[in-house]
Structure 1
Amino acid sequence: MNVNSPSAIAPTDPVQLAPSYRLPIGLLLLALPLVWLQVWVGAAVGLFGVFLLVQTATLRLHFTDTALDIFHGETRIRRFPYQDWQNWAIFWPPVPILFYFKEVNSIHFLPILFDPKALQACLEQRCPTVSE
């Protein structure tokens, strides 16, 4: 199921989050005035924006009943079983830009390249014992 809205998500339904281009486009827009102030800074922010734009177009988060899967196109590149999660948070809720989660042996940071409300709803349903 591809999700654009967090309503009507059942905890056992597999969910693929819809992409959100807000963060990469915001960085690209920020890079324009920065180029006038400092060329190298503006170029670096612009290149990072382009990188995130490509990632937004190619990466997908799939929530299953047991794990968070990250896909690049049709290929699953990582699986994160919920049973290994210790904590998660979405940083800066007014303008969500970063998703953090900690597993037993590692910490992960992902830019918010997906619908933040659907992400929050899926996390609350599938990892309710994990504190924010």
Structure 2
Amino acid sequence: MASTPIQSEARTDLEPSFVIPLVLLFGAIPIFFLQMWVGLAIAVFGVFLMVQTAIIKLSFTATALEVYRGSKLIRSFPYTEWQNWRIFWEPAPILFYFKEVKSIHFLPIIFDPGTLKACLERHCPLQSLRAE
């Protein structure tokens, strides 16, 4: 059952997705019995991503991608500064990359990937970014 993003006229809030953290946590179990420290490291990373999924929110506004921790805005990325973006491994999206004029960002897909891609195509079409 697909969740519906919270959307207003000028803002779309992405719903969290716990798929990657859960895959890491469950995948760490058999690895733990083969290589205890590797399995433990993967499990700890899975727990870290689980917590981040619960507290970090992304919102697409008319002018920027905004990142919130709870209800506090912690970072804003204006679309006018974007040069490129990509979602890695389309069959099962795991990583979101975007490049600004002065920096590059990688984010694990801990939010709804379908809504993410739709918002990116609406607010930052690749054709317009490459034409500049």
What TM-score do the two structures reach when normalised by structure 1?
0.90
Instruction: Please report how far the alpha carbon of residue 107 of structure 1 lies from its aligned counterpart in structure 2 after TM superposition.
Output: 0.1
Supply the AA of the counterpart residue of 1:84: E
In 2: Cα distance, 1:51 partner to 1:124 partner: 29
* Match among 98, 103, 111 for residue 114 of structure 1: 111
Q: 1:19 aligned to 2:21?
A: no
CA contact (8 A) 1:15 1:62 kept: yes
Partner of 1:37: 34
In 2: Cα distance, 1:106 partner to 1:5 partner: 31
Unaligned 5+ runs, structure 2: none
Partner of 1:130: 129
Residues 68-101 of structure 1: CA distance to partner in whole angstroms, max 9, x if unpaired?
Answer: 0000001011000000000000000001000000
CA contact (8 A) 1:59 1:72 kept: yes
Instruction: Please report how far the alpha carbon of residue 5 of structure 1 lies from its aligned counterpart in structure 2 after TM superposition.
Output: 4.3
Partner of 1:4: 3
In 1: Cα distance, 2:74 partner to 2:34 partner: 39
What TM-score do the two structures reach when normalised by structure 2?
0.90
| Higher RCO (C-alpha 8 Å, min separation 6) | 1
Paired residues in the alignment total: 126
Supply the AA of the counterpart residue of 1:113: I
CA contact (8 A) 1:25 1:49 kept: yes
Supply the AA of the counterpart residue of 2:88: F
Unaligned 5+ runs, structure 1: none
In 1: Cα distance, 2:118 partner to 2:129 partner: 13
Identity %: 56
Structure in which a larger fraction of residues adopt helix: 2
Query: Tell me, what secondary structure is at the counterpart of 2:52?
Result: helix
